[in-house]
Structure 1
């Protein structure tokens, strides 16, 4: 995640998060129902899309098709490459490269993007006269767009997407359900994270009732990776560092992966996304971090917490965003430079938490 910190909401400010207002739900439903069958509808998710971004967007796009809308496009900024684990998702035929997306759509819907910066070259689509409906669950959402369906209490953006589909009277079928299930499962860590509430399981039950096969989906999404990625993980995990005194004594464990690592093992950047799970299991650290090199002096940073530290405060302070337990930002400099900034902000975040309490 590389969300901007401007006007963060809910948890990121220390207040109680709140969901969409009734007026926003009504406005979103009205915006869709006003569309004619040939209307140009553009769905956008964030750069380097993950399971929640793609699953929510494609599931909702398939739902729009059931309403008779023929001109639905889905896209994301950057290279039009879908990560391997998600290449079996239904609805991939909705995808078009960013360069081919409607320049003047009749309606824009954004998924899982907490700030405009996450939309890259597609941000100009928000400047058209068409309304923009934003579906998101990040506490650090900046408030861009016209109609805000932003619920920091939701475990995934797919929760918001399913609710809007329900309000549009779109019945769940297996294709829509598979997309939403992948989104829900990925953002809850296969239903292991603290965001896994009773309502999350009730939603999963509704999706499973359509006949989708969770075992097959989980093997494809979570339990399959190239042999080169396994070797790459070995190299990267071998340089992991544990700092027990960091984060006020709660502990900080981190590692980094370089572009040279990827090239040496002939791997694409997406294979690094699950790496944080191998680091966060360290018993001696509450906070974990993985730095993934994206340029000579640029790093995509993933942060996780087991609960003692609010990593969204760290990420927001460093130009990113996210949630209490999972957040991220883009860092500049050497890996050691970026880690030093994280280390300093961890202590600052703890001071802020004490002041709030």
Structure 2
């Protein structure tokens, strides 16, 4: 079943949730506030209905510090504690089963599987797929699902939903009609939107500053890339990130993407454990959900074995720095 979130298919998702006697909710590896906020919001609702629920992600070992104050955190369990058999397994904000990492093996033990996601590259790997590439965040789809279920959104649930909304819209830089209405509805529950945004987006340890100094020193500009659109890129080396949290590393792309001379930004992040392996974040500058210009970096990432959104995507690759840059330039065309 594939859906863009219309009423009939949302009803099927609601029916599955209502019928479930136990639920596992899986977030993607290297989780962000959209996947965790979606998972915890849904877990809060299920728990209140007396349904046993587990929320987890495969890696890293700990949740980023910026998300540890989200309501419902008590439902988050280590991967080893995720049941192998469950009535319903829900994957949130995951474009493919591969984004579940080592926890992808739990799919086969679920009587029913559901995917709730807004990535255009989603492979629709669930028995029920609530997919809307036009949605600004997966948390906005969770809000739609709760409405279809007739579940009111209280401050704790709103906090989780707002966390995904504010981060996936880049502090409301990339919006669509209805985005601000949803934000106003969530804020009306009494949550502190400014504090949520500050905790998630504007708080870094001092070690972030010297790390940025080293990483931005590697920045390069390829003005001829993509027919003159331009590519700005930088490298995050293994030695650069000692003592730095994963969210600090992920924040680098949002600085590189501000380059005026480049329509595409990339950050190559060296694996801490596998020599020659890089995780690559791509952004298309000055565009967002609903826009009609800018480079489709999801298409580029998919060609390189990854995926994502039209204006924010990523992939994993192997090779020396020169080779991985050369491969990206070739894919950009």
TM bin, normalised by shorter chain, reads over 0.9
Q: 2:46·2:52 contact (CA, 8 Å) conserved in 1?
A: no
CA distance in 1, matches of 2:78, 2:154: 27
Counting only pairs closer than 5 Å after superposition, residues 144-293 of structure 1 correspond to structure 2 as: 144-193=125-174, 196-263=175-242, 266-293=243-270
- Partner of 1:198, secondary structure, is coil
CA distance in 2, matches of 1:158, 1:129: 23
Q: 1:73·1:96 contact (CA, 8 Å) conserved in 2?
A: yes
- 1:268 deviates by 2.8
| Count of residues in Structure 1 that have an aligned counterpart in Structure 2 | 323
CA distance in 2, matches of 1:281, 1:308: 14
Give the alignment partner of residue 321 of structure 1, picking from 304, 307, 329.
307
Give the alignment partner of residue 137 of structure 1, picking from 118, 123, 128.
118
Q: 2:28·2:92 contact (CA, 8 Å) conserved in 1?
A: yes
CA distance in 1, matches of 2:115, 2:294: 31
CA distance in 2, matches of 1:203, 1:154: 12
* Residue 80 (structure 1) aligned with residue 61 (structure 2): yes
CA distance in 1, matches of 2:50, 2:120: 32
* Residue 89 (structure 1) aligned with residue 70 (structure 2): yes
Q: TM-score, normalised by structure 1?
A: 0.88
Partner of 1:56 in structure 2?
38
- Partner of 1:288, secondary structure, is strand
Q: 1:20·1:148 contact (CA, 8 Å) conserved in 2?
A: no
Partner of 1:302 in structure 2?
281
Which stretch has the larger CA shift, 288-297 or 252-261?
A: 288-297
- 1:78 deviates by 2.3
CA distance in 1, matches of 2:68, 2:26: 18
Which of 1 and 2 has higher RCO (CA within 8 Å, sep 6+)? 1
Counting only pairs closer than 5 Å after superposition, residues 98-109 of structure 1 correspond to structure 2 as: 98-109=79-90
Partner of 2:289 in structure 1?
none
CA distance in 1, matches of 2:244, 2:207: 7
- 1:330 deviates by 0.6
Q: TM-score, normalised by structure 2?
A: 0.94
CA distance in 2, matches of 1:308, 1:41: 39
Alpha carbons of 1:91 and 1:80: their partners in 2 closer, same or farther (altered >3 Å)?
farther
**Structure 1 runs, 4 residues or longer, greater than 6 Å off:** none
The two structures, once aligned, show a CA RMSD in angstroms of: 1.4
Q: Which runs of 5+ in 2 are unaligned?
A: 286-292
- 1:74 deviates by 0.4
Q: 1:289·1:302 contact (CA, 8 Å) conserved in 2?
A: yes
- 1:216 deviates by 1.0
Give the alignment partner of residue 125 of structure 1, picking from 100, 106, 111.
106
CA distance in 2, matches of 1:97, 1:200: 33
Which stretch has the larger CA shift, 127-136 or 111-120?
A: 127-136
Give the alignment partner of residue 34 of structure 1, picking from 7, 19, 27.
19
- 1:109 deviates by 0.6
- Partner of 1:124, secondary structure, is helix
Q: 2:277·2:319 contact (CA, 8 Å) conserved in 1?
A: yes
- 1:21 deviates by 4.8
